[in-house]
């Protein structure tokens, strides 16, 4: 069963259409929402978190309709917003416990056990008594994930969980997120094709509030098969010099070019076309 079914969803802010008839599905495992700035990723994740309502179209979350059964859905989902409102003077334990109270885990003892469990799951047991303001950015992000895991939600939504992390932290996050995705549905948004390659069983590429691609990362890679070329000269808009001094060109074959193996990033850039290099803003 698909945990998330989005059909023809439209959402406008004033005259601007952030989501423009978007459709996609997600089931157990990790699904990545990949798109450039302003593609509508945060708008969509907030909708999946039942924070925002669609103007038109339908959403089914965990088999339910969010416009009629919001509370039932919320009890079964965990959400890491892009900018979590941390209470920085709280300790890690106090903050996660505070969220657990909001999540209606009433029994104090069971709640504290659950708070300790999620803090351990994200590897923060040793700093559980530290104030949030004294933590590094990566650790703070992990506190955000810990609170999203309270109550063992079936659907976990992570808005750019790896943004701004250094490579080592990013690796730890991938390990953590893939573990979380082993037995539930995780939907995460990212700008990074590397995250998608490393983590996601499925990927949804979108731009301008529309779905451009839905499939496996391997299928996304294959979008660019036969269309990536190495040459001594630059050609077209999607072309850049690589470390070896050759130009990597995506699209039409330049003169005297040699065909190269595509990557997921090539597939993504090809789908996005001009938008990928900021020609269109
Ligand atoms: N509250 C709002 N009021 C007006 N416009 C908004 C609002 N929120 C988002 N938008 C606009 O809607 C579009 C989609 O925004 P959204 O934040 O969903 O994109 P995103 O893919 O998450 O981008 P980013 O990767 O930069 O976070 C953007 O053009 C944005 O400027």
Span(s) in the chain for CATH 3.40.50.300: 1-76+153-216
pLDDT in tens, 182-207: 989 999 999 888 889 889 999 999 99
Cα–ligand 1 centroid distance for 19 (angstroms): 10
**DSSP secondary structure, 138-152, as one string:** HHHHHHHHHHHTTT-
Tell me the backbone φ, ψ of residue 220, rounded to 5 degrees. -65, -40
Q: Whose CA is closest to 45, among 55, 169, 34, 163?
A: 34
Within 6 Å (CB) of ligand 1, which residues are found?
A: 13, 16, 18, 35, 37-43
8 Å CB contact between 150 and 95: no
CATH code for the domain defined by 1-76+153-216:
3.40.50.300
Atom index in ligand 1 nearest the CA of residue 19 equals 14
Q: Name which residue sits closest to atom 29 of ligand 1, judged by CA.
A: 38
Q: Which pTM value belongs to this model?
A: 0.89
Question: Probe ligand 1: pick from 39, 83, 268, max atoms within 8 Å of CB?
Answer: 39
Distance of alpha carbon 245 from alpha carbon 243, whole angstroms: 5
Distance of alpha carbon 200 from alpha carbon 178, whole angstroms: 8
- Can you tell me the ipTM of this complex? 0.90
Cα–ligand 1 centroid distance for 38 (angstroms): 5
CA angle 232, 237, 238 (to 5 degrees): 70
Token readout for 1 is 């069963």
Q: Name which residue sits closest to atom 1 of ligand 1, judged by CA.
A: 13
Per-residue pLDDT of the chain in tens (281 residues, 90 and over written 9): 789 999 999 999 999 999 999 999 999 999 999 998 888 999 999 999 999 999 999 999 999 999 999 999 999 999 999 877 778 789 999 999 999 998 888 899 999 999 999 999 888 999 999 999 999 888 898 999 999 999 999 999 999 988 777 888 888 888 889 989 998 999 999 988 888 988 999 999 999 899 999 999 999 999 989 888 888 878 776 778 877 788 888 888 878 888 889 999 999 988 887 555 554 33
Sheet containing strand 185-190, edge to edge, reads 77-80, 155-159, 185-190, 29-34, 202-207, 210-215
Distance of alpha carbon 225 from alpha carbon 218, whole angstroms: 11
Signed CA dihedral, 211, 185, 103, 113: sign only: negative
């Amino acid at each position: 069963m698909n945990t998330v079914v989005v059909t023809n969803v439209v959402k406008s802010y004033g005259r601007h259409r952030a989501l423009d008839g978007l459709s996609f599905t997600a089931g157990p495992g990790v699904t990545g929402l990949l798109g450039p700035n302003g593609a509508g990723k945060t708008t969509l994740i907030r909708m999946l978190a039942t924070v925002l309502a669609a103007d038109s179209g339908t959403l089914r979350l965990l088999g339910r309709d969010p416009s009629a059964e919001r509370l039932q859905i919320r009890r079964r989902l965990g959400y890491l917003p892009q900018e979590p409102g941390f209470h920085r003077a709280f300790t890690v334990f106090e903050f996660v416990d505070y969220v657990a109270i909001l999540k209606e885990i009433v029994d104090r003892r069971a709640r504290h056990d659950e708070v300790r469990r999620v803090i351990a799951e994200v590897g923060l047991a040793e700093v559980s008594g530290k104030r949030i303001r004294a933590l590094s950015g990566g650790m703070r992000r992990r506190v955000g994930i810990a609170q999203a895991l309270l109550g063992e939600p079936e659907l976990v939504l992570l808005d750019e969980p790896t943004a701004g992390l250094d490579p080592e932290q990013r690796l730890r996050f991938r390990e953590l997120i893939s573990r979380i995705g082993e037995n539930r549905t995780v939907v995460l948004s990212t700008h990074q094709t590397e995250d998608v390659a490393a983590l996601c069983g499925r990927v949804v590429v979108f731009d301008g509030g529309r779905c451009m691609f839905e499939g496996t990362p391997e299928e996304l890679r294959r979008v660019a098969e036969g269309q990536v070329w190495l040459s001594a000269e630059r050609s077209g808009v999607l072309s850049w010099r690589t470390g070896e001094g050759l130009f990597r060109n995506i699209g039409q074959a330049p003169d005297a070019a040699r065909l190269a193996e595509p990557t997921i990033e090539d597939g993504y850039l090809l789908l996005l076309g001009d938008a990928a290099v900021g020609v269109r803003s």
